[in-house]
Structure 1
Amino acid sequence: MALYLLYESAAGYACFHVQGFDEIGHKTEDVANSVTNLDRFGKVVKLQAFCPFNSALDALNQCNAVSEGHVTDGLRSFLELTLPKVRQSKKPKFSLGVAEPKLASHIYEVTKIPCESNEFVLELLRGIRLHFDKFLGNLKRADLDKAQLGLGHSYSRAKVKFNVNRVDNMVIQAISHLDLLDKNINSSSMRLREVYSWHFPELVKIVNDYYRYAKVANYVENKLELSDDKLSGLTEIVGDEDTAKEIVEAAKASMGQDLSPVDLVIVKQHTQCVIKAVEFRKKLCDYLVAKMNDIAPNLTALIGEVVGARLISHAGSLTNLAKCPSSTLQILGAEKALFSFCIDLLFPPQGIKKQGQHTKVWPHISLFIYWPGICSEKGPMARYLANKCSIASRIDCFLEKNTTAFGEKLREQVQQRLDFYDKGVAPCKNIDMMKVAIENAERKDTEMEVDKTSAKPILEKCKKRKYKAADDVEPTPDEAKRVKGKKKQRKVDQEPEPYQAADKANGPNEFKAEEATAKKKRTESENRQRKMSRKESF
């Protein structure tokens, strides 16, 4: 059975005829070792036909079609003219070797030419790639390299889908610049207070905000020139007339030293720098909010713009964040603490009496410490929040539609989890909440109004469940017992006299029996706790 090979190069399509296929068909290792030798390889593989591309645009279109597994009209006509004709009544006595299995299947669907793609075919095509310029005598190696380089650049530009609204690099630079601005503003405002307090020390106690302090210092300059005429300007800056009057009175009785005109000019320039930095920080925050709503709307709706931007910055990009599992996402930003904690576990420091008593805490919170919803249950809550952030980041990365439906529902789940630790209210399942989010995302209204007809049965189903959390992160038995104990204690607090009702309903004898049983249970629990405390002391 004859074998033909289809080779797609940057210059055009080439068809090769393999001779002696029956003898070497099952010796792939021998072929792999002998493809580098042109004398031996040229005896087996012969050039059958070559069809060059008409232009660079034609080469790009053919390359895109091959990568997607489609057969173009040019490739189909080339194969029909080069290969033997295929008759439906007879079985073909040849096959075509193709590198891409997807392209091979499409060629068979269109032309009915039997195709194959295996290791033997790939080794032969590798040899053709090495000696392709030798098979074509008129083609130089330098010309082939130029064609490959030009086609590679064109193919890369065509494949990269550039969206200016979803460039996460700007978010990474914005959050880094924001942190740098915070440090610079804090240090600059501290220096300004130290310098200007030499001239007007009473102003520090009156104006606490560094931005307003800088604006007041820029407006007042020399305290000796401050009078009641500037009261209206101070009121606009401070926002309170009483505070402005207090500043004027403090300036009249100030104990500060006088400054020279040159020093006052330097102080004024210093205040202007602080004011410009604060104003630029506000603009940068607004830009970050708008950018995060375009890039990661669901992650923003879940944990906010700043924490979401910090996660993207530590991961490197939104795609890297989407690839991270929730366990890795949970410790982003705490790599040094995790490393030092592991070192302490392996090599305990000197002076620790008992094994396992370490001075450091497990770094399980990391960047989530900036999230305001972190409660007393920091470890379980950080684990649950990392799970939801992983889902939100993957939705933002791979979903083309810009919507906040999933982020809002994930935030509701987080809030329900907080209620679970506080009140014992069981959160809904993740699959139920995602169904509601998909229904809301399909609507044209982007304000996320909950459809009562579709959400009501699901929410009622969630209320009937007892102490069952979301499917992805189940509460541990200790958490469920603790929440259940809190609920029982709260019920006892709400009913301060539970045995009086039983006395009225069941009579005095039954009430005494129940009281004795409850007393016995309390005694057993106290004895159990006493034994546990003795064991811990030993």
Structure 2
Amino acid sequence: MAGIDYLLFEEATGYAIFKVLIQLDDIAVRMREVQEAAVDASKFSKMVELVSFAPFKGAAQALENANDISEGLVSDYLKSVLELNLPKPSKKERLTLAVSDKNLGPSIKEIFPYIDCLSNEIAQDFLRGVRVHGPKLLKDLQEGDIERAQLGLGHAFSRAKVKFSVQKNDNHIIQAIALLDQLDKDINTFSMRVKEWYGWHFPELAKIVPDNYTYARLALAIKDKSSLTDESLHEVAALVNDDSGLAQRVIDNAKISMGQDISELDMLNVSTFAERVVSISEYRAKLYQYLTDKMHTVAPNLSTLIGEVVGARLISHAGSLTNLSKQAASTVQILGAEKALFRALKTKGNTPKYGLIYHSSFIGKASAKNKGRISRYLANKCSIASRIDNYSDEPSTAFGQILKKQVEERLTFYDTGAAPMKNADAIKEALALSADLADEIEVDVEVDVEEPKADKKEKKEKKEKKEKKSKEDKKEKKEKKEKKEKKRKADDDEAPKKKKKKSKD
């Protein structure tokens, strides 16, 4: 095996080219003396020699080169460094260059065919030694420069990797749906506490107004039940969706209520708590609207098909929209029912038919015997919708609408037997629907734009020339064909004459 001629050392501060003075082989590299030499700076400096060190001009260039190396690409700067510092051998000879990343080797070889790149154990040992003794081998650098450059590049590289599109980002969806679920639990707990606390003063109100949000608003507005009179009808009606009958019942029950009187200090605490419940409920409504808007931006087809909340829960459970799009339809079907699945596999029982998609309205509409079938079909369509949302540049709701229509038709098919839409027809319809908006935009741009007469005349002449040329080509082909047929017939006629002549001879 050929030895290593040069080393390419990629550092946060720049590129360094080292020439190998003492060659090693697979056996020697495992020897204790060689391993100790790699740790000892004085011994290792005799094994390699610095040819050139090309520092980066700034942090931006360092980041650009780091990104290229991570993807196995040769940047223009690295290309110029290799071109200037590596000698070009004769046609038969070849250079061997040690690189740390094996994906970088083929890219270098593509640009420099005479260079063979290695990233084996020997190459890694050499590069490890250079990394350990870098500050001493790279004499132009001061102490601490490499550490500071590595830290800065590490921060810049990480920052660049976690950058995201403001419009298409599913991290906010995951956080929003988690907060929404938490708020639902908290609002329910706090509302029960408000009912129980205020119920000591006005117990009849809980049966008249079962809605938690409305109850908290009424408790906040009424406070002391003795303050309610017939004149308060309009104020109370405004809090119960302008239902005057319900408002009158509240006032009538307040007059004959069996609840105990409450002091001002106690009422102040109840009102403060009720105010907090109202504010949390209002924030929950705003958060739901935010989640709906975000889902229509990030995953419009999935949200159109299965709803914003269920779609957000699927994305959250999968970890991201990309992860959800990579999963098979069978996995999407039972997403959220992992415990039941593994319990069924362990006990050899029936596996679950659905997970999070159970909350979809389609599962609720299906009959008991068809719930499993429609959940399987719905999971298939959810998988398609998530892939379209994740991988399309400008997603629209066209595919989501058609997929939803397909699921509805499948439900009808289970009930009545009416033939549902075929997948090929559905795709055609979705493509036509998604192209409608683009066509409208093009029409708006092109309408009332008249071409100059000279251009029209030129186009007409070109068209005529093209047609004339095509006619001539057809005529020429026809003539050639006729000539070939005549020649073939003549050959066929001559063949029997030749045979007769031979037989006479």
**Please, what TM-score do these two structures have when normalized by structure 2?**
0.72
* 1:335 equivalent in structure 2: 338
Q: Deviations over 1:36-95 (max 9, x none)?
A: 4546987775543332333333323333344455544433333232223467xx555445
- Relative to structure 1, is the Cα distance of residues 247 and 297 closer, same or farther in structure 2, using a 3 angstrom cutoff? same
> Unpaired segments of 5 or more residues in structure 1?
346-357, 448-538
User: What is residue 260 of structure 1 aligned with on the other side?
Assistant: 263
Deviations 1:293-348 (A, max 9, x none): 22322221221111112222223333333343333333232233334434443xxx
Residue of structure 1 in register with 2:128 after alignment: 129
Alignment of 1:389-538 (within 5 A): 389-430=382-423, 433-434=426-427, 436-438=429-431, 440-441=433-434, 444=437
Q: 1:446 to 1:163 in 2, by over 3 A?
A: farther
Pair 1:371-2:360 in alignment:
yes
Partner of 2:57: 54
* Residue aligning to 1:168: 170
2:492 counterpart residue number? none
Q: Could you say what secondary structure the match of 1:259 adopts?
A: coil
Find the aligned partners of 2:28 and 2:415 in 1 and give their Cα distance: 71
Shift of 1:286: 0.8
Give yes or no for contact 1:98–1:117 (8 Å, CA) kept in 2: yes
Provide Cα deviations, 1:468-518, integer angstroms capped at 9, x if missing partner. xxxxxxxxxxxxxxxxxxxxxxxxxxxxxxxxxxxxxxxxxxxxxxxxxxx
Q: What is the deviation of 1:230? A: 0.9
Correspondence for 2:324: 321
Report the Cα offset of residue 185 of structure 1: 2.3
Q: Deviations over 1:165-219 (max 9, x none)?
A: 4443332232222222222222333333334344334333432322222222322
CA distance in 2, matches of 1:213, 1:141: 70
Hey, what's the Cα distance between the residues in 2 that align with 1:257 and 1:413?
59
Say if 1:237 and 1:391 are closer, same or farther in 2 by CA, change over 3 A.
same
Contact persistence 2:334–2:355 (CA under 8 A): yes
Change (3 A) 1:243 1:74: closer
Take 1:242 and 1:340, find their aligned partners in 2: how far apart are those partners? 53
CA distance in 1, matches of 2:101, 2:425: 41
Q: For residue 264 of structure 1, report the CA deviation from its aligned partner.
A: 3.1
Match for 2:271: what amino acid?
K
Which position in structure 2 is the counterpart of 1:240? 243
Structure with the greater alpha carbon radius of gyration? 2
RMSD (Å) for aligned C-alpha atoms: 3.6
Offset, 1:427: 4.0
The whole-number CA distance in structure 2 between the counterparts of 1:410 and 1:154 is: 43
Contact 1:36–1:127 (CA<8 Å) still a contact in 2?
Answer: no
Q: Give the alignment of 1:263-302 within 5 angstroms.
A: 263-302=266-305
Give the secondary-structure state (helix, strand or coil) at the position aligned to 2:179. Answer: helix
Residue of structure 1 in register with 2:185 after alignment: 183
Q: Which residue of 1 aligns with 2:214?
A: 212
Deviation at 1:289, TM superposition (A): 0.9
Cα distance, 1:384 vs. partner? 2.4
Rounded to whole Å, the distance in 1 between the matches of 2:294 and 2:264 is 45
Between stretches 218-227 and 437-446, larger displacement belongs to 437-446
Letter in 2 for 1:304: G
Amino acid paired to 1:116: D
Match of 2:452 in 1: none
Asked if 2 retains the 8 angstrom alpha-carbon contact of 1:98 and 1:116, the reply is no
Shift of 1:243: 2.3
Q: What amino acid maps onto 1:128 in structure 2?
A: L
Distance between the aligned counterparts of 2:333 and 2:229, measured in 1? 57
8 Å Cα contact 1:13-1:50 kept in structure 2: yes
Out of 270-279 and 31-40, give the one that drifted further: 31-40
Q: Which residue of 2 is the match for residue 114 of structure 1? A: 114
- The answer for the alignment partner of 1:388 in structure 2 is 381
Letter in 1 for 2:127: I
Q: SS of the counterpart of 1:161?
A: coil
Paired with 1:176 and 1:236, the residues of 2 have a C-alpha distance of 33
Contact 1:36 1:130 in 2 (8 A): no
Amino acid at match of 2:185: K
Q: Which amino acid aligns with 2:390?
A: C
Distance 1:267 1:151, change over 3 A: closer
How has the CA–CA distance of structure 1 residues 136 and 119 changed in structure 2, closer, same or farther, with 3 Å as cutoff?
A: closer
Letter in 1 for 2:352: P
Question: Partner amino acid for 1:417?
Answer: R
- CA distance in structure 2 between the aligned counterparts of 1:72 and 1:179, rounded to whole angstroms: 48
| Shift in CA distance, 179/16, structure 1 to aligned 2, threshold 3 Å | same
Task: Give the residue type in structure 2 aligned to 1:271.
Answer: A
Query: Which amino acid letter does the alignment assign opposite residue 193 of structure 1?
Result: K
Change (3 A) 1:173 1:100: closer
What secondary structure, in the 3-state scheme, does the structure 2 residue paired with 1:14 have? strand
In the TM superposition, residue 265 of structure 1 has moved relative to its aligned partner by 2.9
- The answer for the alignment partner of 2:310 in structure 1 is 307
- The C-alpha deviation readout for 1:100-154, integer Å capped at 9, x for no partner, is 67655554555x542334554x741452233343682525785433332322222
Deviation at 1:285, TM superposition (A): 0.9
Question: Residue 230 of structure 1 aligns with which residue?
Answer: 232
Which digits, 9 at most, give the CA deviation of each residue in 1:432-468, with x for residues without a partner? 5345445544564599xxxxxxxxxxxxxxxxxxxxx
| TM-score, length-scaled by structure 1 | 0.68
Q: 8 Å contact 1:28–1:119 — kept in the other structure?
A: no
Check the 8 A contact 1:101/1:116 in 2, yes or no: no
Are the aligned partners of 2:109 and 2:116 in contact in 1 as well (CA < 8 Å)? Answer: no
The one-letter code sitting in structure 2 at the alignment partner of 1:160 is: V
Counterpart in 2 of 1:152? 154
2:252 aligned partner: 249
CA distance 1:19–1:173, shift in 2 (3 Å): same
The 10-residue stretch of structure 1 (203-212 or 437-446) with the greater mean CA deviation from structure 2: 437-446
Change (3 A) 1:118 1:95: closer
Distance 2:117 2:406 in 1: 49
Code of the aligned partner of 1:12: G
Q: Which residue is equivalent to 1:80?
A: 83
Q: Deviations over 1:238-274 (max 9, x none)?
A: 2122222233233333344333333433333333233
Tell me, yes or no, if the aligned pair for 1:99 and 1:117 is still in contact at 8 Å.
no
C-alpha distance in 2 between matches for 1:434 and 1:161: 34
For residues 392 and 71 of structure 2, the distance between their equivalents in structure 1, rounded to whole angstroms, comes to 21
- Does the CA contact (< 8 Å) of 1:197 and 1:256 recur in 2? yes
From the superposition, tell whether residues 263 and 9 of structure 1 become closer, same or farther in structure 2 (CA, over 3 Å): closer
How big is the shift at 1:392?
Answer: 2.7
- Corresponding position of 2:468: none
Distance 2:103 2:36 in 1: 30
